[in-house]
């Protein structure tokens, strides 16, 4: 088994130029960048969405690769193309719930602080 030793670097100076935009996380891959009309179904299946806020003290980043490397072993550099403080998370047919990994990820920082934070007597 080979080990991927590539490094991904984030160009942090690009955060200042990043626009705040609405973000939608869909259960599919779309090869389009730009505005689109909102739809309520996908291939005949209903989409159910829920707006999720980033944990307090966190900002979401949308990253864009500046130069695509020739292989997965090469280092990459990404820039911040936009930022967000909430996103709409979509599921097929059923609304997002507390068992979804994205919902759990948004809850994790608060839970981690409770677990690992200082204990008061």
Measured CA to CA in angstroms, residue 9 lies from 42, 60, 80, 113 at distances of 35, 17, 11, 27
Question: How many C-beta atoms lie closer than 10 Å to residue 87's C-beta?
Answer: 20
Q: Give the pLDDT band (50/70/90) at residue 68.
A: confident
Q: What is the pLDDT of residues 78-120, one digit of tens each?
A: 999 999 999 999 998 899 999 999 999 999 999 999 999 888 8
- Side-chain-facing half-sphere of 114: CA atoms under 13 Å: 5
Q: Domain ranges in the chain?
A: 8-28+42-116
Q: Which of 38, 15, 31 is nearest to 84 (CA)?
A: 15
Q: Which helix (H) or strand (E) holds 29?
A: none
- For the record, the structure tokens of 12 come out as 């942090």
Q: What is the mean pLDDT of residues 38-49?
A: 71
> Which CATH entry fits the domain spanning 8-28+42-116: 2.40.128.680, 3.40.50.620, 3.90.180.10, 2.40.50.70?
2.40.128.680
pTM, entire model: 0.75
d(CA 5, CA 22): 34
Q: Would you state the pLDDT for residue 93?
A: 87
Which helix (H) or strand (E) element contains residue 95? none
Mean predicted lDDT score pLDDT of the chain:
86
Distance CA 109, CA 54 (A): 10
């Amino acid at each position: 088994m080979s080990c991927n030793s590539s490094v991904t670097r984030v160009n942090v100076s690009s955060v200042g130029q990043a626009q705040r935009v609405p973000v939608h996380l869909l259960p599919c891959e779309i090869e389009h960048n730009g505005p689109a009309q909102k739809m309520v179904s996908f291939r005949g299946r209903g989409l159910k969405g829920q707006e999720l806020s980033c944990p307090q003290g966190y900002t979401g980043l949308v990253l864009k690769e500046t130069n695509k490397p020739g292989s997965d072993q090469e280092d990459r550099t990404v820039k911040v193309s936009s930022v967000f403080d909430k996103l709409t998370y979509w599921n097929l047919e059923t609304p997002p719930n507390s068992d979804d990994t994205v919902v759990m990820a948004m809850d994790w920082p608060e839970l981690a602080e409770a677990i690992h934070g200082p204990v008061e007597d």
